[in-house]
Structure 1
Amino acid sequence: MTDRLPPTDWLNDPRTVAVMDALEIQGGPDCARFVGGCVRNALVGKPVLDIDIATRLTPDRVIAAATAAGLKPVPTGVEHGTVTVVSSKRPYEVTTLRRDVETDGRRAVVAFTDDWAEDAARRDFRLNALYADRSGVIFDPTGRGIEDAKAGRIVFVGEAETRIREDALRILRFFRFQAHFGRGDLDADGLAACARLSELVEGLSAERVSTELLKLLAADDPRPTVRSMAEAGVLARVLPGHAGLSVFETMVDVSPDPALRLSALLPADADVVREAAARLRLSNALRDRLAAAVDDGTVQAVSTAVQARAAVYRLGGRVVLDRLARRQAAGADPTTLSEARAVATDWTPPRLPVGGREIAALGIAPGPETGRLLKAFEAAWIAADFPTTGHAQRLARLARG
């Protein structure tokens, strides 16, 4: 029985059809097949976000085919055989069949081929080495990819150690794919190879590591996989000095946000968090968010709506919500946090209702006294829970001392 993809919209999308028509006009029938994630996801019923195409055509012929068809070719990675073909604003990564000539654990030198099996042999896992023609017929060069996808098994193509030495990022991809697609125990040979070669992770670029880590943490339930990473010694390579798994285990139930899950793996020390963020080359925004999620006591004491509004005014709703999530993950009763969480989610802090002009109207010359009065007024206004009237009287009392 021939395996086919289930009915799927993207396969017959006019934009997809236009790309496949263009390639086949240039290279004939069966010169191009869908490959990797789109085939795997369609097979197991997960959403297809990106569509990759493998082809026997060389990059120059892909560009010629796209141009002749009125599509837009973008040479995003021609040295590795990849041309992005844009069809009615939708991008399709079209990559020439390849075989590895030389690898160093971080990057590969490739040669083009017209052999589907050679192309499959250089891929990471058997469930990712699946191809499908435009009619949906699936091709499985390793002979086990369809079976693995349906069973939720993440198994390296060929020998695990060989695949890892070609690109050490495959250690993290092994765990990431297990978190998203795996069911049951991790493949024993693959896990052993990842543990044995875990030190190779330290030679990877920080950006590649952090991207894989955040994708892993975005899985519905990454806890079993992260436990296995820790036992294999891989987590310590990625996050030296991590805080253990106890808060993380609870945080997974608290929030699906990978940033908060990462925060729960890090110590409750803002300086240490910043160091970890720098080591992972996280964006400035994510670095600052992770550091701000470490509570300095401001939110630790919050239990009422009044206290929550004061905290949101000073810190912002996002910071308060993150700190509340960490409190809950650390063991706080969520019912005691609900009022504060509602305020942080829905309340918009008002602007300070007085400024230098109101102080000048009291006959006070611009200078240090203006700043002192503004700070004193703001503190009193916050303590009174942001009243909307009586500002002039309150300011006058403060000015009188």
Structure 2
Amino acid sequence: MTRPERISASWLEAPSSRAVMSALETARKGASRYVGGSVRNTLRGLSADDVDIATQLLPEETVAALEAAGIRVIPTGIEHGTVTAFYKGVPVEITTLRRDVETDGRRAVVAFTQDWAEDAARRDFRMNAIYAGPEGELYEVIPGSIEDAIAGRVIFIGAADERLIEDYLRILRFYRFNAWYGAGIDQTGQGACARQREGLKKIAAERIWKELKRTLAAPDPSAAFIAMEDAGVLAVLLPGAASAFLPALVEIEAAHDLTPDPLLRLMAMLTRRQSDVSAAASSLRLSNQEAARLIAWADPALGHVLGLSPTARREAFYRFGPDAVVDRAVIEVASGGEDTLASILADRHAWVRPVFPIGGDDALAAGLRGPEIGKRLKALEEAWIASAFRLSREDLLSRLK
């Protein structure tokens, strides 16, 4: 493998990158370098969404340099050395070189440093500790890191257990980076994640779900979640969850041109028991919308949907919502059911929810009062549904009277 001496990418030439780096170079030449995802992704041949810069300038020096260049700056995490520059609305995050003074598995107390090696040593994976100068010239502080990035090896810096004890969320980052960038699970890292998995109980549920969701959004997270299950990590997060159906689900998504859906992939790992689904929604602190979708998918009244006739399918759309029916159908196919998704998806696309044509005012006009209104309207709605929504308003009014 030929080790590149520099990288070239559109983000290096972007006006925002050029302007911010020029301001920092004016303050002190050679004190600032690009780092992290933009450098790693470029070496992997991938696009880069975010640009991060590491600098030897102290935070107040960084702010002064940017303001002198007329660049808007916000102290987003200045106590930890991070500020965000906005050049014509484009954000660039700049962080002073740091070393860890104290960690507790969730937060770190840091001290600023001028040493690039100290800054690199506190990062998680070797592929994330590669620096690039203003013109893309590469600086490999951790030996082997450039080769790791090119080959897709997600390897902890130094002793894996120590990196995890510093921040247990790195367990989930290990699997996320493998899902997105990895070419195979590093067994040293896998073993450390297995040993340190109980530390995840110290991490806030919202942070865990955010990390899991990003992992589930990868083109194919199957291998990462299988490894997570093998390490016992999945059992800590979601007792009873299993990754067996994920590979089939990914194939189905590709076959039907479905966008990767983290929540649908979560469903594939859960049982359909309401108690398990409610527990998962609670333990991960899902949003109300996410939890409602999960619970609708698991509704035992819905039953199997793959064998429904078109008429029965439309009834299910009306009673349970089309999203719940499609979710149930996709998971049933992933579990080994006959693939009739094309027909179901076509019906879903064409579906317009019919409006029950009578209501409370009609019941009052017909002389009904009190609880009798609800009972009669419910009975008539059931008759209307049974007619495949064909009963007219006139038919229903005559029955109401």
Scaled by the length of structure 2, what TM-score is found?
Answer: 0.92
Counterpart code for 2:20: V
Distance (whole Å) between structure 2 residues aligned to residue 204 and residue 214 of structure 1: 15
**SS of 1:246 mapped into structure 2:** coil
Structure 1 partner of 2:386:
383
1:284 to 272, 285, 288: 288
CA contact (8 A) 1:293 1:326 kept: no
Residues 1:160 and 1:320: Cα distance change in structure 2 (over 3 Å) = same
Residues 1:4 and 1:126: Cα distance change in structure 2 (over 3 Å) = same
Scaled by the length of structure 1, what TM-score is found?
Answer: 0.92
Structure 2 partner of 1:357:
361
CA contact (8 A) 2:180 2:219 kept: yes
- Give, in angstroms, the shift of residue 2 of structure 1: 5.0
Return 5+ residue gaps in structure 2 as ranges.
254-259
Matches within 5 A, 1:159-198: 159-184=159-184, 186-198=185-197
Distance (whole Å) between structure 2 residues aligned to residue 49 and residue 299 of structure 1: 42
**SS of 2:198 mapped into structure 1:** helix
- Give, in angstroms, the shift of residue 126 of structure 1: 0.5
Structure 1 partner of 2:257:
none
Structure 2 partner of 1:124:
124
Percent of aligned pairs with the same amino acid: 46
CA contact (8 A) 1:154 1:178 kept: yes
Distance (whole Å) between structure 2 residues aligned to residue 238 and residue 75 of structure 1: 34
- Give, in angstroms, the shift of residue 71 of structure 1: 2.1
Structure 1 partner of 2:249:
251
**SS of 2:92 mapped into structure 1:** strand
**SS of 1:348 mapped into structure 2:** coil
Structure 2 partner of 1:307:
312
Structure 2 partner of 1:105:
105
Matches within 5 A, 1:2-401: 3-6=5-8, 8-26=9-27, 28-184=28-184, 186-242=185-241, 244-255=242-253, 256-301=260-305, 303-335=308-340, 337-361=341-365, 363-387=366-390, 390-396=392-398, 398-400=399-401
- Give, in angstroms, the shift of residue 207 of structure 1: 1.9
- Give, in angstroms, the shift of residue 66 of structure 1: 2.3
Deviation string, structure 1 residues 266-320 (Cα, Å, up to 9, x no partner): 1211222111221122222212222221141425155222112211122222222
* Paired positions, count: 392
- Give, in angstroms, the shift of residue 374 of structure 1: 2.3
Distance (whole Å) between structure 2 residues aligned to residue 251 and residue 241 of structure 1: 19
**SS of 2:249 mapped into structure 1:** helix
CA contact (8 A) 1:216 1:222 kept: yes
Distance (whole Å) between structure 1 residues aligned to residue 216 and residue 392 of structure 2: 50
Distance (whole Å) between structure 2 residues aligned to residue 95 and residue 126 of structure 1: 18
**SS of 1:102 mapped into structure 2:** strand
Deviation string, structure 1 residues 144-196 (Cα, Å, up to 9, x no partner): 11100111111111111221111111122112111111113x22222222222
Distance (whole Å) between structure 2 residues aligned to residue 246 and residue 126 of structure 1: 30
Distance (whole Å) between structure 2 residues aligned to residue 32 and residue 167 of structure 1: 26
Distance (whole Å) between structure 2 residues aligned to residue 2 and residue 319 of structure 1: 50
CA contact (8 A) 1:303 1:339 kept: no
Return 5+ residue gaps in structure 1 as ranges.
none
Deviation string, structure 1 residues 26-46 (Cα, Å, up to 9, x no partner): 2x2222211101111111122
